[in-house]
Amino acid sequence: MQVTAMHLNNWASGDSVIIDGMVFEICGVSSEVVSLFSPCDPSEHQIERSKLNGCRFFIDLPGIENRYRRLIKTMIQSCLLTTGEATNALFGLRVRGLHDQGSEAVAHAGGSAAAVRQALRCRHYVRISKR
């Protein structure tokens, strides 16, 4: 059984897991088992929590938007990006690594890593100036 996890966020309900090429939604998590549901298969499945150890975790685009709201807002203001460009820049940075260029606007900012670095610098400057 090959287990891969997609955007599994602190074992929260509503996240997804791929098992043997089939996507399951997490319904509930206990100390020993994880309850899974698939729209293709109406019966509820359970898998031992230990089987999810060591699998890779991915956050999809809506997950990135929810998790990095303030960083995306700062990237929009400091690098003059749209919401989609900022989200895709973070997604590309997490999935493809430091050399991801993303869209043309992100490439003008110096790439995904440079856009994030610029946004963090702006947030740091604002935090210091408020003191």
DSSP 13-80: TT-EEEETTEEEEEEEE-SSEEEEE-SSS-S-EEEEGGGGTT------HHHHHHHTHHHHHHHHHHH-
CA–CA gap between residue 93 and residue 109 (Å, rounded): 14
pLDDT above 60 for 11 = no
Amino acid at 23: V
Whether residue 126 has pLDDT greater than 80: no
**pLDDT band per the 50, 70, 90 thresholds, residue 7:** very low
Mean pLDDT for 65-80 is 91
pLDDT at residue 65 is higher than 80: yes
pTM of the model: 0.58
Q: Could you report the per-residue pLDDT of 97-120, keeping only the tens digit for each? A: 777 777 888 888 888 889 999 999
